[in-house]
Each structure stands twice: as C-alpha cells, then as structure tokens.
Amino acid sequence: MGPGAEHRGGARPRDRRRARRGLLRHDLEDPCRRGALPRDSRDRNRSAVRGQAVKTRRAAKREATAPLTLIAETEPRSAASEAYRTLRTNIQFAGLDHPCRNIVVTSGTAGEGKTTSVANFGAVCAQAGSRVCLVDSDLRRPALHRLFGLANDGGLTKALVEGLPFAEVARPTHIPNLWVLPSGVLPPNPAELVGSRRMRELLEAASSSFDLIVCDSPPVIAVSDGVALAAQCDGVILVVRAGMVSHEVLRRVADQIEAVKGIILGVLLNSVDLSRDGYSYPYYRHYQAYNGGDQKP
C-alpha cells in the first residue's frame, strides 16, 4: 500500500527532496492564499499532492454539529469520498515496488481535519479490501474512539507499556477490514512513548496482521509528538485546511519533519471551497455530472 520509505522512483537526492517538499517550495510566496496550492507549484510538483477533500453542501451544513464525519461511509458517491479514494490510489501507485505499511497523518495546527481524514482514508482503504488498523497516537486529545463509538480503555498506551501486539488490543469496527486502536489512558510522557523503540517494534510487527497502519498524530507545531512519530513511520501525510494555515507555518512543519528524516508522502488539501478555488471546480462539476450529484447510492 503506497510508497515505501526507501522507494523514490530512482530520482536523485536533490529531486527527492524537492518532491517531498513540493507543496512548500517555489511558489508558496503568495500570502493571500492561506493553505492553498498555487498553480505553478502544483504543476511542477504533482507527485507531492496526493488528494483534495472538497467541502460538499451537505458536509458544510453538518460541520458545526458533527465535526467528525465518516463521509466515506455515509456518502460514498460524494466528491469528498472520491477525493479520499484518489489519495489511496495515488499513494498506492507511487510505491509499487516498496509498499508503505505504516503512515502517520498530521497537520501543522489544530482544527485542520486530520482525525476526520484518518478515519475516511482508513475506511476507503478497508473498502478496497485492505486490512487497516487506525492507531490513535494522539495521546493528548484522542478522538478516534468517539468517531467509531468505542471505549477508550486499554489501547495504545497499554500496548506500549506491556509490549502487546497491536492486533491483540485493536478493536474491530462496523466497517469490514477496519480496526481501531484507541489511545487508552493518557500518559504523562506521550512524546517519549510514541518515539520509543518499542513503538517502532510494534509498528513493524503489526505488518504481519495488517496491510496498512494509519496513525493519527497531534499537530506538529503544537507539540513534538508528531515529529517523533514521523521518524518511526514509513511516511507522512500532511493535512492542510484550505484558507487556514500560512505558507510560513507549512515550511516550518516540513522542516521539523525532515529534520528527523521523516518522509512527506504528500499533502491532503482539506475543506476546499469550490466557490473560491477555481482550479477545483471543473473536476467537481464533471464528477457530479457523471455520478448524478452528491447522493447516496
């Protein structure tokens, strides 16, 4: 599933660095489009842009009352669900030779939609037949258990303290092929736990039970946990909420991840407003026409 940590398509080191920082290089000097991707940057660095989660009318209405929404299940034919499937496909085909088995999903700041993205990305991967384990490695403000209606006991903290395999403590969800490992009891030293050797060993061992492990991590700017976890996983997906984060923050996030040799697989541009982002509208219009609107099957 997706690009492995060692596979770079035969590119030179300089090209690999540019690909990893595709969003953050070259044309991000436009301060007027916070969290947006300038056209020239997208054209020159397509391999770094993995997906675009649009904000549908239904999602916009529901946003205030249901911030954590499994749209991949409730509206599988929506453009937003298709965006997560595109993310899945792009990552899968980017690393056919060396599949990526564990991914950390993070953001620069809080409120950019990383947990929702983790859940929906995991759901579309499970719907495609992969055995997926979502790990709530946000040991400060865990949320995955609430989204799936699970108790937040045992979980990742128990696995790390007692050395238990993820498969032993992960819980099956109502979606076939999808498991969730809740955070468990919140520890006093979360960064040390997720950055420990035992975390790395458990991630590697989990590959024998799951095709893909997706870790939900705290925002990089807020705390060091996300950076520590980036060093443990095969790659990082950076969730960016359109119109929310400045380019300077994105550069800082990339610098921190790359400082620990973390690999930025790509960017998920979240909550794209189709009425403002003209580059997205033609795709969305054609998708709607082909699929008969944002409807349930």
Helix runs in the chain, H state only = 13-20, 39-44, 57-62, 71-74, 79-94, 114-127, 144-147, 155-162, 166-169, 190-194, 197-206, 225-230, 247-259, 281-291
The pLDDT confidence band at residue 33, using thresholds 50, 70 and 90, is very low
Residue 119: closest CA among 159, 187, 188, 71: 71
Mean pLDDT of 69-92: 86
pLDDT over threshold 70, residue 117: yes
Query: Distance between CA 273 and CA 53 in Å, rounded?
Result: 10
pLDDT over 80 at 11, yes or no: no
Q: Is 171 exposed, middle or buried (0-12, 13-18, 19+ CB in 10 A)?
A: middle
Please tell me whether residue 20 adopts helix, strand or coil conformation. helix
Q: What is the pLDDT of residue 97?
A: 65
The pLDDT tens digits of the residues spanning 238-294 come to 999 888 888 888 899 999 999 999 988 888 888 776 555 454 444 445 444 445 554
- 3-state secondary structure at position 239: strand
Residue 127 CB partners (closer than 8 Å, separation 6+)? 72, 76, 175, 177
Helix (H) or strand (E) holding 272: strand 264-272
Q: In what order do the strands lie in the sheet with 264-272?
A: 49-54, 264-272, 235-241, 102-107, 212-216, 132-136, 178-181, 171-172
Least confident of 117-121, 143-147, 181-185, 284-288: 284-288
The single residue listed with the structure tokens 């420990």 is 196
Q: What percent of the chain has pLDDT over 70?
A: 67
Q: What is the CA radius of gyration of the chain?
A: 18
Give the DSSP H/E element, type plus range, for residue 51: strand 49-54
Angle at 265 between CA 36 and CA 192, to 5 degrees: 105
> Is 153's pLDDT higher than 80?
yes
Q: Length of the chain in residues, anyone?
A: 297
Average pLDDT, the chain: 76
Name the range with the highest mean pLDDT among 1-10, 52-61, 150-159: 150-159
Would you say residue 3 has pLDDT above 90? Answer: no
Domains of the chain: 13-291 (3.40.50.300)
DSSP code for 99: B
Q: Where does the pLDDT of residue 44 fall: very low under 50, low under 70, confident under 90, or very high at 90 and above?
A: very low
Separation between Cα atoms, residue 241 and residue 253, nearest integer Å: 14
**Tell me: the pLDDT tens digits for 165-206?**
999 999 999 999 999 999 999 999 999 999 999 999 999 999
Confidence of residue 126 (pLDDT cuts 50, 70, 90): very high
Tokens of residue 141, six digits: 């403000």
- pLDDT beyond 80 at 98: no
CA–CA gap between residue 220 and residue 268 (Å, rounded):
15
Read off the pTM: 0.75
**For position 214, what pLDDT does the model report?**
97
Supply angle C-alpha 167, 143, 212, rounded to 5: 35
- Does position 222 have pLDDT exceeding 90, yes or no? no
